[in-house]
Structure 1
Amino acid sequence: MRRLALSLSLVTLPVSGVTQEATRTADTPAAASAAAATPLSAGAAAIKGHVMFLASDAMRGREAGSAEFDIAAQYVASQFFAAGLKPGGDAAAGARSYLQQVPLVAYKPAGKGTMSIAHAGGTPQPLVHGVDYVPSADPRAKETAVTAPVVFVGYGIVAPAYGRDDYRGVDVRGKIVAFVSGSPAKMTGEERAWLGSATTKARFAAERGAIGTITLQTPRAENQRAFAQLVEASTHTRMTWANPDGTGNVEAGSIPNLATLSVAGAAKLFAGARTPWAKVARAADKPDAVFVAEQLPATLAAATQTSFAPARSSNVVGVLPGSDPVLSKEVVVLSAHLDHVGVSGKGTDTIHNGALDNAIGIASLIEEAKRFQKEGAPKRTIVFLAVTAEEKGLIGSDYFANHPTMPLQSIVADVNLDMPILTYRFEDMVAFGGDRSTLGPIIRRVVEGAGFALSPDPMPDEGIFVRSDHFRFVQKGVPSVFLWPGQKGPGKAAVEHFMSTNYHKPGDDLSQPIEWEQGVRFVDVNYRIAREIADSVARPVWNKGDYFGTLFKGPMAE
């Protein structure tokens, strides 16, 4: 699963080449003895077998762009073939492959850039890199230079459902907008996470004619993460999918996020402003701050440089054609990400194996394909999609959503499998986003019919609905859901332990007390949900008035 900090999802460059390092034995002798005493069912053994390969040290964390990821992708392709799926990837010479090639580009700031402020037509005063500002890399260009007046727009959010328009009363055409980080606490966690990202805020600014954005660090934000940490993090490499000219993909009409200003840098920007920075900073420390937008008496000049390094990876696409002459033209996507975060850190164990995140999700996807093949094709076509570069920012799923290997309008739903934590016997399930569309009643019916409770989001402030691959389908208007084992009984403690101890750490390996038989239960419920969606007469639609369904113009219920 992708980390929560959407606008600061910084990663290291992929490591190429297959290592000769010997793999460690994940299971202890005691665990092996216990397993021998209690043999696994065939389904549990199959799940464990997939994870043993995908999360082995030989795969070195399956980082997107690495040779090891390519091996993992070939493994998944072979499993799709064995399950009877047809290849649904790229077509060449009249034949399709199971692989969809995803061109990638790694990018980061090249140098410190320059930034200066001129007040009321005065002499420009340079800001100090690492003290006043840290530049942002621009995935679209090697060099970016912008000089324009600055308008402060509070959080920089437009949310009519909450009666909020932070641009009210100001004209930002041809100007740079400055906004504080974060979003109001009164919004739901999912909507707050979406609206609070720098990418979403840049979209609002671009729609109103601005030519660049800067983020203002608040005292609360600097207390949570020192500005020096942002400066260090800015030197790390980010990744996106590449355009034909080698630059990184951005939304059409978007504008560059030029830099982040520290509290000290923001104070310099606000010199002579109608509202002093000290007042803005105090307001920003409140959970539901309200700001008054205003033109600042400042012109900002920013120049940044970005370096690029090409890379490549692939999604794996398998297709089970539907059985109904009409409904088979519609597609239900079952997705899971294949990549993890690779190798990093110090110490004796530097490999981030990604057993639960997300080798077990891929294992579940493979076993669902086998179940569908065994029990017969449903009415709608099923596409099994193992995507790359989720950990880099949902990149593989974004590439597929923008370059689908079947007509985009044929995709009616996505069911996503990401990081099911299966170290306990789960008693309930959670469907992130299930209550937003007509997928919800189907999920409830299946989950309760299987003997589980369907629980509400146990971590609403985490905004999990916007953090995994299904959200790229949501952005195309497709009703989507992300399924997890719930946190009743032993679940809460198990999830908290994993998130604090093993999430995105080398400890997410096969030494964890994974309960493989729980994987069988998880696969069974996911299979039943997917089959009912694929067999239903009615196409899934968003609930009327749903925030994301409305925002992305998806099909709505009457």
Structure 2
Amino acid sequence: MRRLILALCLTSLPVSAIAQNAAAPSAEAALSAEAAAIKSHVMFLASDAMRGREAGSPEYDIAAQYVAAQFFAAGLKPGGEKGTYAQQVPLVAYKPDGQGTLSITGPAGQTALAFGTDYIPSANPRATETNVSAPVVFVGYGIVAPQYGRDDYRGVDVKGKIVAFVSGSPSKMTGEERAWLGSPTTKARFAAERGAVGTITLVTPRSDKQRPFARLVEANGHTRMTWANADGTGHVEEGGIPTLATLSLSGAQKLFAGARTPWAKVAREADKADASFKAEALPTALAVTTKTQFDKAQSSNVVSVLPGSDPALAREVVVLSAHLDHVGVSGKADDKIHNGALDNAIGIASLIEEAKRFQKEGATKRTILFLAVTAEEKGLIGSDYFANHPTVPADSIIANVNLDMPILTYKFEDMVAFGGDRSTLGPIIRRAVEGAGVALSPDPIPDEGIFVRSDHFRFVQKGVPSVFLWPGQKGPGKAAVEHFLSTNYHKPSDDLSQPIQWEEGVRFVDVNYRIARDIADAPSRPVWNKGDYFGTLFKGPMGQ
């Protein structure tokens, strides 16, 4: 009923609430029909009335209904649950409940650490209260990467222990692999596989410069989100081992009291871009108690299908995805609504227009699934839920092409395909990009690890060759991208007041359409390049 009332209320809103910042009709008279269609979707989805489309909000639900209606109008079949376009995603919102307690027992006796000065507790999405007491083992970065000759657990036994690791990852890795291996979630997985009972992250002088501990303290009370298991607990990717706390420089100093390697030496080494540490059992034990506050939420992915035409290949599915959610309403300024025009209303608009083009130009041999996901901004939650609960047979998904935050404020001269060179999608992408009259460029910001930071990566984790494209940084691109990321990214100013070039959206849709159609009509399914790190790690189909 609440959703119905909100939907009815929208019809009585003044036009300014739906189309704020839109140019006067005369200013847009030159737009092609395709560009006008893209803009019309963004005008609705990024309007103030949608209040930032936060996952779990009524406004997100209205946006999802809009996308479902557009899929219906494009002639797509429902691909969700019970003959609908919706896949319900049960969510768990959680955050630390209080300060918790953390004490160290070492050669000098027991020491209680101070919240906000020595440590901040981590919330545990699987339990309202977490109690862990165990000896501590320091494992450097906490990374296991045989291809780089690195095993930070070499020489130590962590079974039944708490592992402590410094944040970050070595510089002598590709940006994509650094981002994956440096994630606390990945590090917790390595620890769990070796029998550890919890993890502690240590702030270093290097990491403290990049993100001061004081900022971590301020953010500690923020709500996190994951999807709910059948028993109502939050899904934990690392298999259940709790991340217990983050220790500041002062907290780490106390943890290393009496250690063979003094903390000062560890901190100096951690200042190096490619630090090397020796794992060691510390002469200290930790007793940690934390509490977690929970709240249930519900959202939905929007799923539609264009069935394939080939009797043999139609069971194989190419997924085209984009995230529908944004970050909602927050801040202290007069304008608190994070409209999310480029992130990612324009990605959803591109997905809708791509669907219309497929319907217009005829079915492909393979089936295409169009997926608008929720809670990307919460940690790729909606796509993770779909990847673990697909509405089609899991083994039928052969590729994913993801549309996320194309920055279309300039006439792009090249494109970047994140992850495109890791599989046989590479030649398909090059044909599509060059066929549209632009160049294909390498990743201009490899240290950002973009490949692991959007929804397509949830398909990669299931072994599926995947890619997502951005307009590149040739010509005016570099300045435009830097301006957006520094000025408008995740801010209320990501709205229709930006100089969005809607005809560039038509070009962006065209390239993605070419890629998807080529994949869907190709004689063979894509495979990972032989020996590719992620293809090997996640056991995807491998080329010879």
Work out the CA distance in 2 between the residues paired with 1:59 and 1:530.
30
Partner of 1:184: 170
Deviation at 1:231, TM superposition (A): 1.2
Partner of 2:379: 393
* Residue among 30, 40, 45 paired with 2:36: 45
Aligned length: 535
User: What are the superposed Cα offsets for residues 515-546 of structure 1, whole Å, 9 maximum, x if unpaired?
Assistant: 11111111111101100000001110000100
* Residue among 26, 31, 35 paired with 2:28: 35
Deviation at 1:412, TM superposition (A): 0.2
User: What are the superposed Cα offsets for residues 36-93 of structure 1, whole Å, 9 maximum, x if unpaired?
Assistant: 3xx21110111011100000000000000000000000000000001111001012xx
* Residue among 253, 257, 271 paired with 2:243: 257
2:103 pairs with 1:110: no
- Tell me the TM-score normalised to structure 2 length: 0.96
3-state DSSP of counterpart to 1:61:
helix
Contact 1:242 1:248 (C-alpha < 8 Å) held by counterparts: yes
Deviation at 1:185, TM superposition (A): 1.2
1:288-437 matched pairs, under 5 angstroms: 288-437=274-423
Partner of 1:10: none
Counterpart code for 1:381: T
User: What are the superposed Cα offsets for residues 323-378 of structure 1, whole Å, 9 maximum, x if unpaired?
Assistant: 00010010000000000000011222110000000000000000110100011100
Deviation at 1:225, TM superposition (A): 2.3
User: What are the superposed Cα offsets for residues 144-167 of structure 1, whole Å, 9 maximum, x if unpaired?
Assistant: 100000000000000111110000
Deviation at 1:17, TM superposition (A): 7.0
Work out the CA distance in 1 between the residues paired with 2:454 and 2:67.
20
Structure 2: tracts of 5 or more residues without a match: none
2:486 pairs with 1:537: no
Partner of 1:446: 432
Contact 2:185 2:237 (C-alpha < 8 Å) held by counterparts: no
- Tell me the TM-score normalised to structure 1 length: 0.94
Partner of 1:146: 132
Contact 2:407 2:471 (C-alpha < 8 Å) held by counterparts: yes
Deviation at 1:224, TM superposition (A): 2.5
* Residue among 87, 109, 116 paired with 1:130: 116
Counterpart code for 1:135: P
User: What are the superposed Cα offsets for residues 274-298 of structure 1, whole Å, 9 maximum, x if unpaired?
Assistant: 0000000000000000000000000
Deviation at 1:252, TM superposition (A): 6.4
Partner of 2:48: 57
3-state DSSP of counterpart to 2:347:
helix
Work out the CA distance in 2 between the residues paired with 1:28 and 1:330.
41
Contact 2:22 2:43 (C-alpha < 8 Å) held by counterparts: no
Work out the CA distance in 1 between the residues paired with 2:129 and 2:466.
38
Partner of 1:230: 216
Partner of 2:20: 26
Contact 1:17 1:66 (C-alpha < 8 Å) held by counterparts: no
3-state DSSP of counterpart to 1:500:
helix
Counterpart code for 1:289: A
Partner of 2:503: 517
**How well do the aligned residues superpose, as a CA RMSD in angstroms?**
1.4
Work out the CA distance in 2 between the residues paired with 1:251 and 1:316.
23
Contact 2:410 2:501 (C-alpha < 8 Å) held by counterparts: yes
Partner of 2:492: 506
1:164-203 matched pairs, under 5 angstroms: 164-203=150-189
Work out the CA distance in 1 between the residues paired with 2:32 and 2:84.
33
Work out the CA distance in 2 between the residues paired with 1:185 and 1:410.
37
Structure 1: tracts of 5 or more residues without a match: 1-15
Work out the CA distance in 2 between the residues paired with 1:17 and 1:182.
44
Work out the CA distance in 2 between the residues paired with 1:227 and 1:521.
43
Work out the CA distance in 1 between the residues paired with 2:386 and 2:462.
11
Contact 1:448 1:454 (C-alpha < 8 Å) held by counterparts: yes
Contact 1:105 1:311 (C-alpha < 8 Å) held by counterparts: yes
Work out the CA distance in 2 between the residues paired with 1:164 and 1:155.
10
Work out the CA distance in 2 between the residues paired with 1:493 and 1:217.
33
Work out the CA distance in 2 between the residues paired with 1:391 and 1:251.
17
Work out the CA distance in 2 between the residues paired with 1:246 and 1:305.
17
Work out the CA distance in 1 between the residues paired with 2:488 and 2:238.
38
User: What are the superposed Cα offsets for residues 376-407 of structure 1, whole Å, 9 maximum, x if unpaired?
Assistant: 10000000000000000000000000000011
Work out the CA distance in 1 between the residues paired with 2:480 and 2:424.
31
Work out the CA distance in 2 between the residues paired with 1:553 and 1:221.
33
Work out the CA distance in 1 between the residues paired with 2:530 and 2:22.
53
Deviation at 1:488, TM superposition (A): 1.0
Work out the CA distance in 2 between the residues paired with 1:224 and 1:437.
33
Work out the CA distance in 1 between the residues paired with 2:503 and 2:21.
16
Contact 1:216 1:262 (C-alpha < 8 Å) held by counterparts: yes
Counterpart code for 1:90: E
* Residue among 33, 53, 70 paired with 2:61: 70
Work out the CA distance in 1 between the residues paired with 2:244 and 2:75.
49
Contact 2:181 2:187 (C-alpha < 8 Å) held by counterparts: yes
Partner of 1:88: 79
Work out the CA distance in 2 between the residues paired with 1:116 and 1:553.
41
3-state DSSP of counterpart to 2:382:
helix
Work out the CA distance in 2 between the residues paired with 1:63 and 1:432.
26
Counterpart code for 1:420: P
Deviation at 1:472, TM superposition (A): 0.1
More displaced 10-residue stretch of structure 1: 491-500 or 413-422:
491-500
Deviation at 1:28, TM superposition (A): 6.2
Deviation at 1:32, TM superposition (A): 4.5
Contact 2:188 2:238 (C-alpha < 8 Å) held by counterparts: no
Deviation at 1:229, TM superposition (A): 1.4
3-state DSSP of counterpart to 2:214:
helix
Counterpart code for 1:73: A
Work out the CA distance in 2 between the residues paired with 1:501 and 1:253.
38
User: What are the superposed Cα offsets for residues 466-507 of structure 1, whole Å, 9 maximum, x if unpaired?
Assistant: 000000000000000011111111111111111111110011
3-state DSSP of counterpart to 1:145:
strand
Contact 2:53 2:328 (C-alpha < 8 Å) held by counterparts: yes
Partner of 2:477: 491
